[in-house]
């Protein structure tokens, strides 16, 4: 059986659109209708009017967001167990206690969080628009930022103001240290270093650029014949090569690999389309609260 042909046939029959994050395996990105970062895919998920079904190749919070934005469509995940350790670092009860300790403070919630946490938040953000989102709240005494402390610290530096940060992080990005960057610079002295704002402040300080994944792709499109050391999950190398094939890309060693992002396979994607048993749903009362926070972000 030609698995790619089978996927393509079912996609057309079921009027399905396949969305894939840039950290997904190359073969998944290659077969997707749209590839992007969490922000780009959030926008795309709100625009898929012609589709009756969304197959989200990513992790669970992304599929939940698609389901919230598209309540009349079926949202499937090839592997419904693909989660996000950062998202699991705070739940609705913990957020409620955090808010109670800082009454009246608005909550900025990174999209890498559960629908329950989004529902308890004022506004969502992504790594590409976090600075803009926080700035939009004005000169309020306190702003709570959950769950990624390192993205929060990046925002603090950009805006010159303190936030009240939750002690969460992405374990994959946290593992990247300045020493690994220096080693890569010695090996590739002409290359510019790009790292994700989920990395530690000292790691960001050692880089030339601190960029969300979509911003990394935009950069190589604008400078399409450069050498780049890539300080984020290795899956982005495929998207970078597609965007600017004349450039050279050097991943950090040891490689940054998210096991959950790599759970998606072509076989699981086909099974998801065939059986529709991997549907992701969000309780209506949770979805309603989360939708307000997501729409507040999209309105910016």
Residue 244 maps to a domain: yes
- pLDDT for the residue numbered 64: 95
Residue 186 maps to a domain: yes
Give the separation between CA 275 and CA 270, rounded to whole angstroms: 9
Instruction: Give first-to-last CA distance, the chain, whole Å.
Output: 46
Same domain, 180 and 247: yes
Same domain, 188 and 233: yes
* Sign of the dihedral through C-alpha 173, 177, 183, 186: positive
Structure tokens at 215: 């911003």
CA-wise closest residue to 36 among 80, 7, 66: 66
Out of 118, 146, 170, a domain closes at 170
Residue 294 maps to a domain: no
Residue 61 maps to a domain: yes
Local confidence pLDDT in tens for the 300 residues of the chain = 699 999 999 999 999 999 999 999 999 999 999 999 877 887 787 787 788 999 999 999 999 999 999 999 999 999 999 999 999 999 999 999 999 999 999 999 999 999 999 999 999 999 999 999 999 999 999 999 999 999 999 999 999 999 999 999 999 999 999 999 999 999 999 999 999 999 999 999 999 999 999 999 999 999 988 999 999 999 999 999 999 999 999 999 889 999 999 999 999 999 999 999 899 999 999 999 999 999 999 898
Overall domain count for the chain: 3
Structure tokens at 181: 């960057």
- pLDDT for the residue numbered 247: 97
Same domain, 44 and 61: yes
- pLDDT for the residue numbered 123: 98
Same domain, 60 and 96: no
CA-wise closest residue to 133 among 154, 102, 104, 103: 154
Same domain, 242 and 189: yes
Out of 170, 185, 214, a domain closes at 170
Residue 243 maps to a domain: yes
Give the separation between CA 290 and CA 283, rounded to whole angstroms: 10
Cβ contacts of 170 within 8 Å, gap of 6 or more: 85, 86, 112, 148, 150, 198
- pLDDT for the residue numbered 142: 98
- pLDDT for the residue numbered 197: 98
Out of 139, 155, 170, a domain closes at 170
Same domain, 92 and 77: no
Cβ contacts of 295 within 8 Å, gap of 6 or more: none
Structure tokens at 94: 């913990």
Q: Give the angle 199-35-133 at the CA atoms, nearest 5°.
A: 50
The enclosing domain of 189 has a CATH number of 3.40.50.10800
Residue 292 maps to a domain: no
Domain containing 195 equals: 176-251
Cβ contacts of 111 within 8 Å, gap of 6 or more: 38, 39, 42, 61, 62, 65, 118, 124, 125, 126, 294, 297
Same domain, 195 and 221: yes
Residue 228 maps to a domain: yes
- pLDDT for the residue numbered 44: 84
- pLDDT for the residue numbered 163: 98
Residue 288 maps to a domain: no
- pLDDT for the residue numbered 46: 79
Same domain, 118 and 184: no
- pLDDT for the residue numbered 212: 94
Same domain, 144 and 128: yes
Same domain, 140 and 206: no
- pLDDT for the residue numbered 42: 74
Same domain, 241 and 211: yes
Structure tokens at 81: 């167990």
Structure tokens at 209: 């650029």
């Amino acid at each position: 059986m030609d698995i790619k042909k089978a996927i393509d046939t079912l996609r057309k029959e079921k009027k399905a659109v396949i969305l894939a994050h840039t950290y997904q395996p190359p073969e998944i990105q290659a077969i997707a209708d749209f590839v992007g970062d969490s922000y780009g895919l959030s926008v795309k998920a709100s625009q898929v009017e012609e589709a009756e079904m969304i197959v989200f190749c990513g992790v669970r919070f992304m599929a939940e967001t698609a389901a919230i934005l598209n309540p009349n469509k079926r949202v499937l995940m090839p592997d419904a167990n693909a989660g996000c350790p950062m998202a699991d670092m705070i739940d609705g009860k913990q957020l409620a206690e955090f808010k109670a300790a800082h009454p009246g403070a608005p909550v900025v919630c990174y999209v890498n969080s559960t629908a329950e946490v989004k529902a308890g938040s004022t506004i969502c953000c992504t790594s590409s628009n976090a600075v803009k989102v926080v700035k939009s709240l004005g000169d309020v005494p306190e702003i709570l930022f959950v769950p990624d402390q390192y993205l929060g610290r990046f925002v603090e530096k950009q805006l010159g103001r303190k936030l009240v940060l939750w002690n969460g992080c992405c374990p994959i990005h946290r593992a990247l240290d300045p020493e690994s960057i220096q080693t890569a610079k010695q090996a590739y002295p002409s290359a510019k270093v790009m790292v994700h704002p989920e990395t530690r402040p000292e790691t960001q300080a050692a880089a030339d650029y601190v960029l969300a994944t979509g911003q990394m792709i935009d950069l190589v499109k604008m400078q399409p014949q450069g050498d780049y050391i890539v300080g984020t999950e290795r899956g982005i190398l495929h998207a970078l090569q597609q965007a600017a094939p004349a450039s050279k890309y050097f991943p950090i060693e040891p490689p940054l690999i998210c096991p959950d992002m790599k759970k998606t396979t072509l076989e699981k994607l086909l099974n998801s389309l065939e059986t529709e048993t991997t549907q992701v749903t969000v309780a209506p009362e949770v979805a309603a609260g989360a939708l307000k926070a997501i729409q507040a972000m999209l309105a910016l």
